Amino acid sequence: MEPERSLRLSIWEGALAVLFLNWSTGVIITGYALALGASPQALAFLGALPFLAQLLAPLALLLPGGRKALVVRLSLWARLLFLPAALAAFLPEGGRIPFLLLFAALSQLLAAPVGVLWLSWMADLVAEERRGRYFGLRNALLGLVGTLGNLLGGMVADRLPSPWGYQAVLLLGVGAGLLSVHLLRLQAEPRETPSPSPKEALRAAWHDAPYRRYLGLVFLWYGAVMVGGPFVIPYFVQVGGLSMTEVGLWTVISALSGLLFGPLWGRVADREGHKAVLFRTAGVAALMPGLWLMGSQAFPWPIWLSALTDALAWSGLNAALANAVLAQAPKEAQKGYLTLYWLALGLGGLCGSLLAGSVAGLGLGPSPYHLPILLSLGLRLLVALRFRSL
């Protein structure tokens, strides 16, 4: 029965978890922050939180206990800690955004080691020769669930008085996240390969020169993405004229397309390797901001077209970035490799988000969002070309 039973449960667990993650870090929380009066700098900080949290990824090497037990415990408390953030609208106006940012940050910081622990767990559960296909299918299905959730969340947010609609969706997301923790408890954990001490695992990964170059590109890539990343949804709403329901529909189009593209990229990865997928999908993701900048309230079609390019890019890119780590990591030092990967990702995204806030504050362009998105396009192209050398 194993590992098939656990792999099926992992898809159901991920479907519930992605509702919490999407709503607490994506479209809904951004709309909620806008409804509470967030400035471009506050939006940039909100976008930086997932990356700031990854700076605590090395805790995965230090915390006592098995991978499964830690993932369950940390996920449970991270989701409970998000509850106060959903209640920020009840505070006096001046305290709403700081309160929202504080508890959103605490929730994500607590969950930071989960990525390393969960990937290590899943790497033992999924046979290497089928990782591309399994994660391609899982990511595509989770993308569909998450974006259907965004559509539902956007419809609720549009139909209920603001910001109460956002709060209802965020509270529902916490409930889904808690149910996903229960499904995590039901999955099997294979016996963990004995690993060296945290210091030795990190040293082995850092002394791997090709892997160090890969980490540098991961850092640069997420930095480039997040120069414009915090402003995509505000751009869609305030420049493109999309309602929150339409933003949700945009994500549904992307997810439905991802159901086609994700498994295709998975087969390419199993046949040609994850680095081949990485270069191709990064090229598409690099050009995508150009479509956003072409869109406006009077001419929104480039924004809608970008939903297809979003699916084509990220349905393969997310899995390729992580699987490229697993392909390079010796089994005994896997956690060290994964920890450095999440650190590079987090540092890159954090630096990009900080730069985003500074660039938006210059006040250049038709909106505060045009210049950061244009800069992101140029930086993405430069890094995407470097992926070819891997």
pLDDT in tens, 259-315: 788 888 888 888 888 888 999 999 999 999 999 999 989 899 999 999 999 999 998
Instruction: Render the burial of 240-254: b for 16+ CB within 10 Å, e for the rest.
Output: bebebbbbbbbbbbb
Own/partner long-range contacts of 360-366 (Cβ < 8 Å, ≥24 apart):
360/40, 360/41, 360/44, 360/231, 361/40, 361/41, 366/239
Q: Which of 382, 347, 343, 375 minimizes the C-alpha distance to 360?
A: 375
Structure tokens at 195: 């690993």
pLDDT band at 240 (very low <50, low <70, confident <90, very high): very high
Q: Using the predicted structure, report yes or no on whether residue 56 has a pLDDT greater than 90.
A: no
- The residue among 15 and 115 whose pLDDT is bigger is 15
Q: Which of 141, 186, 128 minimizes the C-alpha distance to 311?
A: 141
- The residue among 40 and 376 whose pLDDT is bigger is 376
Q: Which residue has the tokens 């999924």?
A: 126
Q: At what angle do helices 164-186 and 67-81 cross, to 10 degrees?
A: 170
3-class state of residue 240 by DSSP: coil
Strands in the chain per DSSP E: none
Q: Is there a contact between 274 and 132 (Cβ–Cβ < 8 Å)?
A: yes
- The residue among 176 and 43 whose pLDDT is bigger is 176
| pLDDT more than 70, % of the chain | 99
pLDDT, averaged across the chain: 89
Residue 195 has a pLDDT of 67
For the ranges 136-145, 276-285, 362-371, which has the lowest average pLDDT? 136-145
pLDDT digits (tens, 9 = 90+) for 165-215: 999 999 999 999 999 999 999 999 888 766 677 788 888 889 999 999 999
Give residue 37's region: left, alpha or beta (phi > 0; psi -120 to 50).
left
pLDDT band at 369 (very low <50, low <70, confident <90, very high): very high
For the ranges 68-77, 86-95, 164-173, 243-252, which has the lowest average pLDDT? 243-252
Q: Using the predicted structure, report yes or no on whether residue 342 has a pLDDT greater than 90.
A: no
For the ranges 27-31, 96-100, 103-107, which has the lowest average pLDDT? 27-31
Residue 235 has a pLDDT of 93
Domains of the chain in sequence order: 4-387 (1.20.1250.20)
Q: Is there a contact between 258 and 311 (Cβ–Cβ < 8 Å)?
A: yes
pLDDT band at 48 (very low <50, low <70, confident <90, very high): confident
Q: Using the predicted structure, report yes or no on whether residue 332 has a pLDDT greater than 90.
A: no
